[in-house]
Amino acid sequence: MTSALRRADSQMLAVVLLLCIIGVVAIYSCTRSSSAPTQKLVMQLAYIVIGLGVLLGTMLIDPGRLRGLAWPIYLAVMLLLVIVLMVGAIRETNRWIPIGPVHIQPAELAKLAVIIMLGAVVARLDEDRWDFLFLIKTLSYVALPGFLIVLQPDLGTPVVLFFIWLVMMFVLGANPVHLGAFVLAGLMLFAGAWGFGLIKPHQQARLTAFLHPEEDSEGASYQLRQSLIAVGSGHLWGQGLFHGKQSQSDFIPDQETDFVFTVIAEEMGFVGAMSVVVLYGLLLYRGLSIAAGAPADFDRVVAAGIVAMFFIQIFSNIAMTVGLTPVKGMALPFLSYGGSSLVASMIAVGVLQSIHIRREQIVF
């Protein structure tokens, strides 16, 4: 363990710890006025401790061993996605499996399962692998969990899975024209689902609220409008920690989860918000560096997939808080309250560290 830590990417670990600390402060700030002001703070600290332990444990797993576990991991997560559909709905969705005070969200684990599975599949193929039929085969590994997640219902995570697939295929040399055809097919599929009424009413309302935020200000547009007020009122230096009017008055639903960035923007201002963005930029940069220096196809594509996962989640979450994308239920890595997202993100960093350590061993 000590030897592995010495070879680890210390910059990435430092960024993860800083983001976790900022997240804990923001979560406490927007929940301190609740009936149990320290409950979510304590829970998040427990999740961080567990997550760090999982991160360190994942670092010790050789990427080759991880590749051999691709099918068991994939099938186990698919089983969880089936089980979650059989569990009673929580907040009108079947996204969580309750185990005592903890709720497990299999969709968060599905992202990593798909990344590892795709890495194992492409690592076994020859140089002539990049035909159209092969792309369809690899996409099937995304389609199965994506379909199960849509049934929850959740449209955001399938989009994340599709984006991860696009990046991983592009990194390994797929024809951009072929990938563009899949993007177009995806858009047509979504349009067809909308036209036939397969998109849930509340999901349609979120999209129309994004396109016309001035309408239904007390309904679907409410969360977005309140978020924009909070972000805009932060100005340069913010209103001060624990002094944000929106954050402290519980105007924004789910502020400690999906909209935790608004707490930072309101109370720490543009400087605090941009500091978080810079930390995320450093995290992505270190991930790309690990992917570029990976010694094997599996290592390289898995590292690229993890970077893609972090990027799309960071971009989508921050963009929705400032009105650039529709509102969706998507956690901000290492900042949002919740154990599933945090532990899954820690596992992802552990895999990146494992690849980095192996590269360092080979270089030595």
Write the pLDDT tens digit of every residue in 245-288: 888 877 777 789 989 999 999 999 999 999 999 999 999 999 99
> Does residue 132 carry a pLDDT above 60?
yes
Q: What global pTM score does this model have?
A: 0.92
pLDDT band (50, 70, 90) for residue 1? low
> Does residue 342 carry a pLDDT above 50?
yes
The answer for residues whose C-beta is within 8 angstroms of residue 6's C-beta and 6 or more apart is none
Q: Number of folded domains in the chain?
A: 1
CB atoms closer than 10 angstroms to residue 195: 9
Residues 152 and 95: beta-carbon distance below 8 Å: yes
The answer for residues whose C-beta is within 8 angstroms of residue 296's C-beta and 6 or more apart is 63, 123
d(CA 321, CA 31): 19
Using alpha carbons, select from 354, 344, 355 the residue that is nearest to residue 291.
Answer: 355
Q: pLDDT tens-digit profile of 217-244?
A: 555 577 788 888 888 888 899 898 888 8
Report the sign of the C-alpha dihedral through residues 226, 231, 234, 239, in that order. positive
Residues 116 and 299: beta-carbon distance below 8 Å: no
> Does residue 363 carry a pLDDT above 50?
no
d(CA 101, CA 95): 15
Tokens of 289: 């560096």
DSSP 129: G
Residues 198 and 158: beta-carbon distance below 8 Å: no
Range of the domain at 54: 2-363
Q: Provide the 3-class DSSP secondary structure of residue 351.
A: helix
Beta strands in the chain (DSSP E): 97-99, 102-104
pLDDT band (50, 70, 90) for residue 299? very high
φ/ψ (deg, to 5) at 94: -105, 70
Residues 314, 244, 40: CA angle, nearest 5 degrees: 65
Residues 60, 101, 258: CA angle, nearest 5 degrees: 75
pLDDT at 252: 79
Pairing of strands 102-104, 97-99: antiparallel
